[in-house]
Amino acid sequence: MKIFYDENIPYAKEFFHDFGELVPFAGRELSAEQVKDADVLLVRSITKVNEQLLHLNTKLTFVGTATIGFDHIDQSYLKQRNVVFTNAPGCNAISVAEYVLSALMVLVERLGFDLKTKTIGIVGAGNTGTRLSEKLDALGINYLLCDPLLEKSGDARTFSSLNEIVNCDIISLHVPITKECEHSTYHMFNQAVLTELSSQQILINACRGEVIDNQALLQLKQNNRGPHLVLDVWENEPKILTELIAFCELTTAHIAGYSLEGKARGTEMLYQALSKLANKPIEKQLEQFLPKAEFEYEKQHPNNELITVKQRVFDVYDVRRDDKIFREQLNIKSFDYLRKNYPVRREFSALELSAQHSWPQTLKNLGFKVKV
Ligand SMILES: NC(=O)C1=CN([C@@H]2O[C@H](COP(=O)(O)OP(=O)(O)OC[C@H]3O[C@@H](n4cnc5c(N)ncnc54)[C@H](O)[C@@H]3O)[C@@H](O)[C@H]2O)C=CC1
Ligand SMILES: O=C(O)C(=O)[C@H](O)COP(=O)(O)O
């Protein structure tokens, strides 16, 4: 069996070496000629998997993307060819939720507000929106959920309309990119919606760039209007609208989901799916491969819950590190280079705290490991 895998899929060798021959490739450079004798194709979001890529291949049985998003996959073409397809739902949801929380902690400090007096509008209440809402629950922060598809499907949570969400103090977007369907998300935040937002509000996009009309957003900001911005994703990646960067409070290179755990969970999910297809027992688990994390953290015991939480969040992940790299290096390195060479980042669960730590239950509910 010949398995082609994106070189940016962590632990691919560890998970797949005993399935057959492994062939790494650069995600944006894969050609039809190169992939013509692949039995299995494992990609990330930057490889478009369609007839153009696969027309020379007659052997393919399985395509997996180590991501939740699958807008880069022509699923009907794969179906027509009887190729089994899987994505990795939820693999990086914790990572994105922790990115958002870290960003909120930075903005609390920078803009000087109390998070407990704000309401966060979460658009898209799937894996990521749910993980984020759980972290907000842990902190007692108010939020509204907007997800007409889940609402219609009978999800028991309370949902709000997009009109209600646009009035929230903070809006965080967690939807797939969809076009030409009832609740399509392409330019969901178009000029008309963006114009309704005030300069006191915060808009966070860590889903897909095309959910916001980037050009309209730039025009608004150039006219000294529009919300505070946290942008991880961009229209037309990797050729992004760089003029927007200067108007962002925090800005990064589509790395919200790039915790080591988040990326590697995607690999593990593909391993599980391929094992099932190949009738092989599931013998490997991610924990075997993840290194133990070492953190330098100050063992302070402030009596303010949010200050303690903020310190522990930054001990594990301070989004300002990635914002700085992005602003300083995008002129020298490419968008893809910054993503490919992303420094290691761990999830809250990698920091083990003792039960004697201040606010142990809150930290546990947020996802930190608390030793009893
Ligand atoms: N920046 C990054 O690194 C990452 C970005 N993403 C992006 O974020 C998106 C969401 O991720 P997950 O929560 O894991 O996906 P998911 O599929 O679990 O959840 C998406 C939710 O959005 C809802 N939705 C669809 N259209 C909607 C609309 N018009 N209004 C409100 N809700 C709508 C769906 O019903 C679903 O519940 C992914 O599709 C992907 O594009 C995901 C992971 C990492
Ligand atoms: O899972 C998704 O969807 C994402 O957006 C991932 O963070 C994309 O990562 P790459 O596949 O572009 O490495």
DSSP 101-146: HHHHHHHHHHHT--GGG-EEEEE--SHHHHHHHHHHHHHT-EEEEE
Residue 96 CA: nearest ligand 2 atom is: 7
Helix ranges (H only) for the chain are 12-16, 51-54, 75-80, 93-111, 127-139, 148-152, 162-165, 191-196, 214-222, 260-277, 305-316, 319-329, 335-340, 360-366
Specify whether domain 93-251 bears CATH 3.40.50.150.
no
Banded model confidence at residue 304, pLDDT cuts 50, 70, 90: confident
The helix (run of H) or strand (run of E) holding residue 229 is strand 228-231
The string of pLDDT tens digits covering residues 361-370 is 999 999 999 9
Provide the mean pLDDT of the chain.
96
pTM of the entire predicted model: 0.97
Give the pLDDT of residue 305: 86
CA of 129 to the centre of ligand 1 (A): 8
pLDDT of residue 299: 67
Domain ranges of the chain: 2-87, 93-251
Looking at the domain that runs over 2-87, which CATH code has it been given? Answer: 3.40.50.720
Contacts of 80 (CB under 8 A, 6+ apart): none
| C-beta of 27 in contact with ligand 2 (< 6 A) | no
Mean pLDDT on 269-293: 97
Matching fold, domains 2-87 and 93-251: yes
The SS3 of residue 205 is strand
Residue 301 confidence class, pLDDT cut points 50, 70, 90: low
Q: Are 42 and 15 in contact (CB under 8 A)?
A: no
Over residues 11-37, the pLDDT tens digits come to 999 999 999 999 999 999 999 999 999
Residue 180 C-beta-side C-alpha neighbours within 13 Å: 0
With the most atoms of ligand 2 within 8 angstroms of its CB, the residue from 47, 67, 335, 347 to mutate is 67
Axis crossing angle, helix 93-111 with helix 305-316, rounded to the nearest 10: 120
Q: What angle do CA 106, 367, 308 make, to 5 degrees?
A: 45
167 Cα: distance to centroid of ligand 2 (angstroms): 29
pLDDT tens sequence across 150-179: 999 999 999 999 999 999 999 999 999 999
Residue 146 has φ and ψ, to the nearest 5°, of -125, 115
Residues annotated as catalytic (active site), given as ranges: 208, 237, 254
DSSP state of 291: P
Question: In this structure, which residue's CA is closest to atom 44 in ligand 1?
Answer: 257
Binding site members for NAD(+): 147, 232, 257
Average pLDDT over residues 322-340: 97
Please give the pLDDT value at position 257: 98
